[in-house]
Amino acid sequence: MTSASESGFVVFDRVQKSYDGETLVVKDLNLSIGKGEFLTMLGPSGSGKTTCLMMLAGFETATHGDILLDGKPINNIPPHKRGIGMVFQNYALFPHMTVAENLAFPLEVRKMGKDEREAKVKRALDMVQMGDFGGRRPAQLSGGQQQRIALARALVFEPELVLMDEPLGALDKQLREHMQFEITKLAHDLGITTVYVTHDQTEALTMSDRVAVFDDGRIQQLAPPDELYEAPKNSFVAQFIGENNTLEGVVESINNGRALVRLDGGEVIDATPVNVSKAGERTKVSIRPERVEYNKERLHADAHTLKAEVLEFVYMGDIFRTRLRVAGNEDFVIKTRNAPDQRRLKPGEQIEIGWLPDDCRALDA
Amino acid sequence: MTDTSETGPVLAADGTPLKRSLQRALRAQKIRALALIAPLLLFVLLTFIAPIADMLFRSVENEIVSETLPRTVIALQDYSGEETPGEDVFAALYTDLAIATEFKTHTRLGSRLNYEQTGISSLFRKTGRRVKRFATDAYTDQFVALDAAWENPATWVALMAEQDARSALPETASAYAGWTSIVLDDNDDPATEQPADFVYTALYRELAANPDVGAVLENPLLTTAAAAVPDFETVDIRAQFLDVEEDWADTDVWKTIKAFSPNYTPGYFLAAVDLQQTVDGVQQQPEDQRVYMMLFKRTMFMSLAIMASCVLLGYPIAFLLANLSLRTSNLLMILVLLPFWTSLLVRTSAWKVLLQQQGVINDILVWIGLVDDANRLIMMNNQFGTIVAMTHILLPFMILPLYSVMKTIPVTYVRAAKSLGATNWTAFWRVYFPQSVPGIGAGCILVFILAIGYYITPELVGGTTGTFISNRIAYHISSSLNWGLAAALGTILLAVVLLLYWVYDKIVGIDNVSLG
């Protein structure tokens, strides 16, 4: 799916962007977004994700390559003619207009009649459950309410594509989770294509149909959330998405889709080779904290195990988070469910840990 | 909050009302804050507020007439203004002037009244020189001839020591008191000097009007004098005055004196709006003397014109400053501030060099051939020159507040507008511009208030048609010395500014003014 296909509703075809003519902020971007899809661009700041969004919106021009919307190149179309709804990071609600005026603005500039305008504004406000707030000024609303209005304003002129630039960044945790749910529901109900930019991986995982992980101006992986989490393609994605334990070592052998990795401390473990191809290559082995097992009865008889010392035990309510020293790595974390039969480890305790080879992925160093 | 049925004041833990408790806790803080600002507060009060208040007070103060001519002012109380006043008024004026001449206060009064009616100053000076030589010494001689005791200062001291005598002969007593103050002022003893003629004149007039005084007071000297007075040779004081100067018969002089006899006068304010106070009420000044309303209107018009050109020129620059890259905008900012740091006088003089008929602009236009050498443009010593020079000088005051407001308008607003379908112009006009209005408001207030009181530039490049009301105020302060009128003009200017400020607050709202 990473190559540009003609079938996509939004297509980035070998797009590059440079601000200063010396470095590329976006390097060879190829991306195809299907109609009605909810795609998230995820990445650390400076990874080029916002630049991509701005190019799509028309506020930045691509240095090279084409951006196609519904099959038509839009490089030379000014932003106001693209008909793309956009929700900004700080909402960008016009402070001198009331909520209703804000919503009516895109309809007004489209020369829509007054009655039709009012009907649409009312419908959009009801859609975000803000029907009674039309007469207020944005400053009189809470952050969450402003967020809803910004969303309603981006949708009121019924665009087929909506862009969202970290729209939930300014909200507190609870409200953010609630709004995540509302935005996805709305997007799916209305069947709008959504491109969502965030640096919050939880947001990306819970909301999206597909997530494009950006780093260093490139898409590192484009996949549905579960695939991204469980089968990261490289160590950047593994590190960036969710919590992750890394052990460094050298590949000893690769046989039948199983790699034997000798860690720097001398221990040998099983792993699934992902982007290592031959023996002798350095690798970073990645294991999710919740896939680590220390109860010997649940491990395979022939599974390789490692010695570990408990450094810290944190009670987090639904789970226990235990920090271990494993093969010289002091930040090895395991997470266990708070179940009645679960043993609580004590600092200083010596245990043995192991995992299924499928959960342990040998990635690039 | 714990007990909603409680209706009394909220109490602190120790039982005192919470409000008082809070006040006590904050008192030390307030005193400390006050102590910190006290030096500046005192400085401003003493060197700024107090002089201004004193200056403003001068615009209504008018004690000079009633202080210099107290008897005349009383005598004029019932004066109608239809004809020259009678002998009583002239007698009172005689006493007042005789005393005022000794203290030389009559010339100051003359200058003061000259503001209201030209010619009064010389009238007072001339009369002042002659008043001592009035023929009223005839009365002195006749009293002395009647009884030599009248010549003796002790007689007068004794007579005036009696309370009954003073109240029976009020005018004489008042004249004698005035004379005493003159003698004391010369470091002489009233008990050893013979009173002046005007005291005898007052006595004569009172005895003639009221022959029973001597009998009532049981004073033989007065009784004899009262009996003899009807046969005295009389002196017509009115004729004496008219002899000095015919103008004393002019009712206008008397109307002016009467009109300005109260301690406080609206006269300066009326003059400041081209009105004048007459006995017949407030009237317009004669057409050829109306200047101030025209000047006020011109000042307002030109300040508005300067303000408008500052907005037109400053807005695009501020917009650029706020939206260009930091490097370029810093360079631009220095260009904006450079004239700001240059002396006002230098900049104004530079405009003189540019605008005059033999100046740079005219030379270039003639050289290009756009303007004929014989018909060089007149760009200075008129309103055009003042507006051009002042727009340039006040431009930074418009640009800086505009810039600081524009700097705070996030670029996302315009982007949002465009993404919603607005063209560049619509996005600017409907979204960006309304948010920059507070900056325009601040800039306009700043420029307008500075312009309305500007002095140096209009003085240098304004000529006669491009000057402001402030130039007139300066003229009255330093040249004509009519401080009362200058104060009244200044007060009106201040009131106009405050009024406009209030109107602005009502229309735009002062909360909408932002300096950044």
CB pairs under 8 A between A and B: 68
Q: Is B481 left (phi over 0), alpha (psi -120 to 50) or beta?
A: left
- Domains located in chain B, CATH noted: 1-58 (no CATH), 67-133+237-259 (no CATH), 137-231 (no CATH), 292-512 (1.10.3720.10)
> Is A191 part of any domain?
yes
Confidence grade of residue B208 (pLDDT, cut at 50, 70, 90): confident
> Which of A235, A255, A273 marks a domain boundary?
A235
Position B503 scores a pLDDT of: 84
CA distance B355 to B336: 21
Contact at CB, A94 and B421, closer than 8 angstroms = no
Domain of A254: which CATH number? 2.40.50.140
Give the range among A274-288, B207-221, B438-452 with minimum mean pLDDT: B207-221
Tell which A residues from 73 to 92 touch B, by Cβ distance under 8 Å: 78-86, 88-90, 92
- Over residues B46-51, the mean pLDDT reads 92
Same domain? A195 vs A313? no
User: What digits encode the pLDDT tens for the residues B146-159?
Assistant: 888 888 888 888 88
Position B114 scores a pLDDT of: 86
Position B314 scores a pLDDT of: 95
- Over residues A73-77, the mean pLDDT reads 90
- Over residues A217-224, the mean pLDDT reads 92
CB burial readout A129-155, b (16+ within 10 A) else e: ebeebbeebbeebeebbbbbbbbbbbb
Position B3 scores a pLDDT of: 47
Position B236 scores a pLDDT of: 87
Q: Which residues contact A23 (CB under 8 A, 6 or more apart)?
A: none
Does residue B516 register a pLDDT over 60? Answer: no
User: What digits encode the pLDDT tens for the residues B404-424?
Assistant: 899 889 888 999 999 999 999
> Is A4 part of any domain?
no
- Over residues B23-52, the mean pLDDT reads 91
User: What digits encode the pLDDT tens for the residues A10-39?
Assistant: 999 999 999 888 889 999 899 999 999 999
Q: Name the residue of chain B whose CA is nearest to A154's CA.
A: B420
Same domain? A120 vs A88? yes
Same domain? A269 vs A312? yes
> Which of A208, A235, A262 marks a domain boundary?
A235
* Length in residues, chain B: 516
Same domain? A263 vs A226? no
| CA atoms lying within 13 Å on the CB side of residue B133 | 7
Same domain? A280 vs A189? no
Are the beta carbons of A353 and A336 closer than 8 angstroms? Answer: no
Same domain? A197 vs A314? no
Least Cα distance to B124 among B136, B142, B112, B140 occurs for B112
Q: Name the residue of chain B whose CA is nearest to A106's CA.
A: B420
Does residue A253 register a pLDDT over 90? Answer: no
Same domain? A220 vs A291? no
Distances (CA, A) of B151 to B18, B192, B194, B197: 82, 11, 6, 11
Same domain? A311 vs A182? no
Contact at CB, B413 and A58, closer than 8 angstroms = no
Same domain? A178 vs A77? yes
User: What digits encode the pLDDT tens for the residues B240-297?
Assistant: 888 888 888 888 888 888 888 888 888 888 888 888 876 667 788 888 888 899 999 9
CA distance A29 to chain B (A): 23
Contact at CB, A110 and B421, closer than 8 angstroms = yes
A313 touches chain B (CB under 8 A): no
Q: Which residues contact A24 (CB under 8 A, 6 or more apart)?
A: A16, A17, A18, A63, A217
Does residue A1 register a pLDDT over 60? Answer: no
- Helix, strand, coil percentages in chain A from 3-state DSSP, rounded to 5: 30, 35, 40
Position A37 scores a pLDDT of: 93
Q: Name the residue of chain A whose CA is nearest to B410's CA.
A: A92
Position B420 scores a pLDDT of: 92
| Contacts B427 to A, Cβ<8 Å | 80
> Is A190 part of any domain?
yes
| Contacts A83 to B, Cβ<8 Å | 421
Percent over 70 (pLDDT), chain B: 96
Does residue B5 register a pLDDT over 60? Answer: no
Which of the pair, B167 or B429, is modelled with greater confidence?
B429
Confidence grade of residue B337 (pLDDT, cut at 50, 70, 90): confident
Domain of A209: which CATH number? 3.40.50.300
> Is A305 part of any domain?
yes
Percent over 70 (pLDDT), chain A: 98
Angle between helices B120-130 and B251-259 (to 10 degrees): 100
Tell me the pTM: 0.75
Does residue B184 register a pLDDT over 80? Answer: yes
> Is A196 part of any domain?
yes
Contact at CB, A92 and B434, closer than 8 angstroms = no
CA distance A247 to A234: 14
Same domain? A205 vs A307? no
Position B311 scores a pLDDT of: 96
CA distance B407 to B435: 11
B427 touches chain A (CB under 8 A): yes
Position B16 scores a pLDDT of: 79
Same domain? A204 vs A287? no
Same domain? A281 vs A353? yes
Of A80, A95, A154, the CB nearest to B422: A80
ipTM of the complex: 0.82
Position B370 scores a pLDDT of: 87
Domain interval for residue A222: 10-235
> Which of A185, A218, A235 marks a domain boundary?
A235
Contact at CB, A79 and B413, closer than 8 angstroms = no
Confidence grade of residue B513 (pLDDT, cut at 50, 70, 90): low
Angle between helices B105-116 and B251-259 (to 10 degrees): 100
> Is A107 part of any domain?
yes
Does residue B466 register a pLDDT over 80? Answer: yes
Position A305 scores a pLDDT of: 82
β partners of residue A268 = A262
A9 touches chain B (CB under 8 A): no
* Number of structural domains found in chain A: 2
Question: Cα B122 to chain center, whole Å?
Answer: 24
Contact at CB, B420 and A109, closer than 8 angstroms = yes
Confidence grade of residue A321 (pLDDT, cut at 50, 70, 90): very high
Q: Which of A50, A53, A88, A105 to mutate to test the interface with B (most CBs of B within 10 A)?
A: A105
> Is A3 part of any domain?
no
> Is A83 part of any domain?
yes
